[in-house]
Amino acid sequence: MRWLLGKRWIWLWLLGAACSCAQAGEPTFVEGRNIFIETGVEAPDRSPTWYASMVDKPYAPVFQMLATQGTQGRYYPYTYPVTLKDLIRFHGHDCEGTIHAADAAWLALRTLFPDGIIDRSVLWGISGDSPCWSDAVAYLTGARVQYGNLGFFRDRRYGHAIVLYRTDTRVAVLATWKRGINNIPGEPVMLPGSIDWKPRVSSAEIEALKGVVKKAGGKPTPYQVDLMRYQQWELVNDILQHPLSESYTAQVIPDFEWSQWIDPAKTVRAPVERTDVRLKNHPYRSSPVDPGP
């Protein structure tokens, strides 16, 4: 992969698996200039519950999502909020991976959408094989395997990182955890940076226990199962007591090429055309009351 600045960006589509990008393109819209989207009109669901006890922590992320109206509609004039609670319901349970992926995505999306309005119609995503991470990426971006815009890393070292790619500006961001909260045995941290705060349970402790559980061949002791859950829960809650930039890092990928990052064996041969966003910029009627054609 080339990490060089100043190249000319090219974007091409080949069965949903080839995208070459360099210089930034023009955004689909600029909030307050050629579109007026109202945000914050709905309160995010930050009420703790047994399956999302961490949702009210000071730095639990909230995403302001922009979607299109129905299957063949224009942009909505409002955003809707998404919290960790929403992601957990979609994924099926609360777990360390989904929280990490959401936290990393929040940092990446701040770079891609500085105005805080996340346009799901222009997002692609890459994750590792874990459903915890891929579900978070799919939910936040709208990317799907059948569209050819949800990929899985070719390089397994990136298994607990994500790439979010914005097709209109042609900017891709790699985001992952910093050293100090990483806890996957044998997997390196793929961006520089370490945390400068001390977790109550160290990543080394969690990593060691995960190693023991993995070697148990699916037959760990009941105590080990409970302890691993407790350690992960402690770490997640610890992280959300700090600004997310203290625990995660994000970096723009110069000269990004989709086909170089994804595993071609995990793609759909004939991607389905995504049609729910094609009329997002369709003109309005000439007057509120219009007899039509």
Residue-wise pLDDT for 123-148, tens only, equals 999 999 999 999 999 999 999 999 99
Phi/psi zone of residue 269: left (φ > 0), alpha (ψ -120 to 50 degrees), beta?
A: alpha
Give the pLDDT confidence score for residue 290 in this predicted structure: 80
Calculate mean pLDDT across residues 188-212: 95
**Is the pLDDT reported for residue 201 higher than 50?**
yes
pTM of the model: 0.89
CA dist 181 → 164, 176, 188, 220, 263 (Å): 21, 10, 12, 23, 26
Q: Is the pLDDT of residue 19 over 50?
A: no
Can you list the domains of the chain with their CATH numbers?
A: 62-177+247-266 (3.30.1330.20)
CB neighbour list of residue 184: distance below 8 Å, 6 or more residues apart: 159, 160, 207, 210
Q: What is the pLDDT of residues 62-109, one digit of tens each?
A: 999 999 998 899 999 999 999 999 999 999 999 999 999 999 999 999
Residue 258 CB-half CA count within 13 A = 28
Upper half-sphere CA count for residue 153 (Cβ side, 13 Å): 20
Which residues, including other chains, have CB under 8 Å from residue 164's CB and lie 6 or more apart? 105, 108, 109, 112, 123, 124, 125, 137, 141, 172, 173, 175
What percentage of the chain has pLDDT greater than the value 90?
83
**Helix locations, 24-63, DSSP H:** none
Specify the length of the chain in residues: 293
Predicted confidence band of residue 171 (pLDDT cuts 50, 70, 90): very high
Distance CA 3, CA 60 (A): 32
At 4 the pLDDT is 31
Q: Which helix (H) or strand (E) holds 109?
A: helix 96-112
With contact defined as beta carbons under 8 Å apart, do 148 and 121 qualify?
no
Beta sheet of 248-252, edge-to-edge order: 150-152, 123-127, 161-166, 171-177, 248-252
- Asked whether residue 15 carries a pLDDT value surpassing 70, the answer given is no
C-alpha distances in angstroms, 135 versus 11, 106, 258?
A: 26, 15, 19
- In this predicted structure, the answer to whether residue 230 has a pLDDT above a threshold of 50 is yes
Q: How confident is the model at residue 23 (pLDDT cuts 50, 70, 90)?
A: low
> What is the pLDDT confidence band of residue 263, given thresholds at 50, 70 and 90?
very high
Q: Is residue 1 scored above 70 in pLDDT?
A: no
Burial of 62 (0-12, 13-18, 19+ CB in 10 A): middle
**Residue whose tokens read 């080839």:** 18
* Kind and range of the H or E run holding 104: helix 96-112
